[in-house]
Structure 1
Amino acid sequence: MKKKNVTRKELAISVNEKLGVSQRNAAEIVDTVFAIMKTTMVAGESIKLVQFGTLTVRDKSPRRGRNPRTGESMTITKRQMVSFRPSKRLRERLNK
């Protein structure tokens, strides 16, 4: 079974159908929500979506790694990453 990704366009179409707004306005709504989420995470803040889950920005420390092509040892620099923790309700629905 091939897994399918949901695109921004598909989200906009769903907003259009559910709220009855034009497709252009629905696309603007979706883009605005993602822009706000992006700005919030870049600022280092978490996003809690009730009954869905929490997106948090985590710091990863530098570590030793190796280049798989050459086998050469190298240091992987410190960086930030986004992690998602699903809500209890979402986990329950996924595991039914």
Structure 2
Amino acid sequence: MDKSKVIIIKSFPTAGEALIYKSLLESGGVECELINETVSDVLPLQNELMNVKLAVAEKDAEKAREILSAKFDQQEFDTESMKRRKKP
């Protein structure tokens, strides 16, 4: 990731939740990193300073926001899943 200018896109109370969003961005072609991931596991304190932060390069911030704001369509998922199950 280009570290010249990094933007924090979202903060999470747990590393597990942050990893889900990191995977989502990476699958969309956006390089990202987690900040405080280890600290939150070692010192599980619930305060804003210990939150896990999801960071992207400034040039990728808009694309990252679009990916994270997309809504999950359960009906579309179910339809596509059924189609794939029917294939041999």
TM-score range for the pair, normalised by the shorter chain length: under 0.3
Q: Higher strand proportion, which one?
A: 1
Q: Higher helix proportion, which one?
A: 2
Q: TM-score, normalised by structure 1?
A: 0.23
Structure with higher Rg: it is 1
